[in-house]
Amino acid sequence: MSSLNLDDFTDLIERPDGGVRRDAEARRERQIVPPGALGRLDELGEWLAAARGDVPVRPVERPRVVLFAGDHGVAGLGVSARPAGGAERLVRAVLEGESPVAVLARRLEVPVRVVDMALDCDPETLPKDVVRHRVRRGSGRIDIEDALTLEEAEAALRAGVAVADEEADSGTDLVVLGDVSVGGTTPAAVLIAALCGTDASVVTGRGGLAIDDLTWMRKCAAIRDALRRARPVLGDQLRLLAAVGGADIAAMTGFLLQCSVRKLPVLLDGVVAAACALVAQRVAFRAPDWWLAGHDSGEPGQAKALDRMALEPLLEQGVRVGEGVGALLALPLVRAAAALAAELPETPEPETPETEKGPEENTE
């Protein structure tokens, strides 16, 4: 029996400061560039001010990319263009600075953290700081069996909470959240379809490497079969994550919830992050107020999830590679919004001319 009470998050999570947001809006109205002329940058600056509790808003100085990694057993059905169990190779490319996210992060001077939750490899082959939160090796095939035991799902969710606390305590002021997985978009689509009440075909996308039609049909069938297993446990989010999620997905859900508790803003990447966010929203309805959707990955499941959470992507560049790349591309936009909100001067108050006085009358 689980000792974790997810309902506690509802009480712990507060909304960003509405009074600070109103102050930020008032300041924006006084600046020399007319309100609305900067488009969504105005809204972004005001959101960030409320999230950080400051007017003028402080700049984003210590962002960090956090990537949760895992292999998914359902990949063995041939639902991905990548080989099953191949996430270790992707993680190594990140750690060695050779992946797209590593290149971008280096240019933007943003550190990258990888958290192995369920890679299908020997943990001795990876750095200790990467594997120390690992829950298991790989996950179950969600079309016919649970991804995790209930105890593993709880351990993974608690690990995500711990990682969020580590980031908040270390001074990270904004997180770019992504995943490094093989097969991860399949459980993500299952979660989204289950929570949105839609059919498998509505949420089945082509993945990061644009799978062919036959692979798409296999993926759609796997999502359909997993949905049958998900629906009976929809009322219990921890059981849902155990049944059709994975250790990386459960950890990302816990991470998002605790970031909201710690008032740490998060930029969401693709469909996997969106699925975790949707589960977290079901746990605590105020949590999405602390998140931004970095980009539109083109995955139909991501669009469905973001629409349900009323989150509008900042960018639309067709980036499907995952690994936090699309969300990292949106980081300069967020930083620009903060800079403009804080540094644009206010319109000077019009000078009031002194009333001219005539010669004083002699009243004697």
Pair of tokens at residue 24: 């930020």
Q: Which residues have C-beta within 8 Å of that of residue 165, sequence separation ≥ 6? A: 258, 262
Please check whether the domain covering 63-333 is classified as CATH 1.10.1740.10. Answer: no
The answer to whether the beta carbons of residues 157 and 135 sit under 8 Å apart is no
Look at residue 356 and tell me whether its pLDDT is greater than 50: no
Over residues 42-70, mean pLDDT: 95
The pTM of this model reads 0.93
| CB hemisphere CA count around 160 (13 angstroms) | 33
* Of the candidates 205, 255, 237, 210, the residue with the CA atom closest to the CA atom of residue 68: 255
- Containing 334, the helix (H) or strand (E) segment is helix 325-343
Pair of tokens at residue 161: 């909470």
- Containing 213, the helix (H) or strand (E) segment is helix 213-230
Write the pLDDT tens digit of every residue in 242-263: 999 999 999 999 999 999 999 9
Q: Which of 54-68, 76-90, 116-130 has the lowest mean pLDDT?
A: 76-90
Distance CA 245, CA 247 (A): 7
Band the pLDDT of 363: cuts 50, 70, 90: very low
Task: Determine the pLDDT at residue 181.
Answer: 95
Q: Which residues are catalytic?
A: 323
Over residues 317-339, mean pLDDT: 94
Look at residue 172 and tell me whether its pLDDT is greater than 80: yes
Domain ranges of the chain: 63-333
Band the pLDDT of 91: cuts 50, 70, 90: very high
Identity of residue 143? D
Task: Determine the pLDDT at residue 320.
Answer: 87
Cα-flanking dihedrals φ and ψ of residue 183, to 5°?
90, 0
Of all residues in the chain, the percent with pLDDT exceeding 90 is: 85
Distance CA 328, CA 178 (A): 9
Q: Which of 166-180, 208-222, 285-299 has the lowest mean pLDDT?
A: 208-222
If one compares 102 and 319, the residue with the highest pLDDT of the two is: 102
- Specify the pairing of strand 174-182 against strand 63-71: parallel
Look at residue 81 and tell me whether its pLDDT is greater than 90: no
Identity of residue 125? T
* Of the candidates 150, 137, 125, 128, the residue with the CA atom closest to the CA atom of residue 69: 137
Pair of tokens at residue 157: 């969710």
